[in-house]
Structures are given as C-alpha cells and as structure tokens.
Amino acid sequence: MYQARIHITLKPTVNDPQGVTVLSSLHRLGFNSAGDVRVGKFLLVNIDATDRAKAEVAVTEMCQKLLANPVIEDFTFDLEEISASKSAP
C-alpha cells in the first residue's frame, strides 16, 4: 500500500489569475514581502499496489487521464509506503 503525494501546477508559461488575486490580497493585508504567487493542487491518493513500480505506473496514468490537464499543467508525485490501515492524509 502506497500513498502518492501529487503536486499539480500550472506550466510556468501559463498565466495564473488565481495567483495574481491571492498576491493582491496579500498586499492589501500588508504582506508587502510577498512576490510572485502560483496556485496549484495537492492530492493524497492511497494506492493498493504490491510494488512501487506498479504504483508509479498507476499514478502517472491517473494524472495523465484525470487529475491534471496536460495542456496547461505539470504534475509531479512521490510515493510513500504506508500500512494498509492508514488513511490519507
């Protein structure tokens, strides 16, 4: 049993209006040290696989087919082995 920690971020060249909004809110609250802000998604997915290679293949496919939009988003993930009873997070 593995837990995948998946990061999905907009590609660096893609405009991030949500990040721009967060940044302007931060400045309005007085956080003038804040510079560029990018907003992405973070998913924890438990994978019932017998070995790490199979889990990696499954998570890559999940990201490509559902979780990320490959046109505008990049994804990265790491896998942590967990005991079967532990639920995410």
- The CB density around residue 77, as the number of other CB atoms within 10 Å, is 18
By CB under 8 A, residue 20 contacts a second copy: no
Q: Which long-range contacts (CB under 8 A, 24 or more apart) does 64-72 make?
A: 67/6, 67/8, 67/41, 67/43, 68/8, 72/10, 72/11, 72/14
- Residue of 24, 31, 69, 78 interacting with a second copy (CB under 8 A): 31
Check binding of 51 to a second copy (CB under 8 A). no
What residues make contact with a second copy under the rule CB under 8 A? 1, 7-9, 12, 19, 22, 25-26, 29, 31, 33-49, 54-55, 58, 61-62, 65-67, 87-89
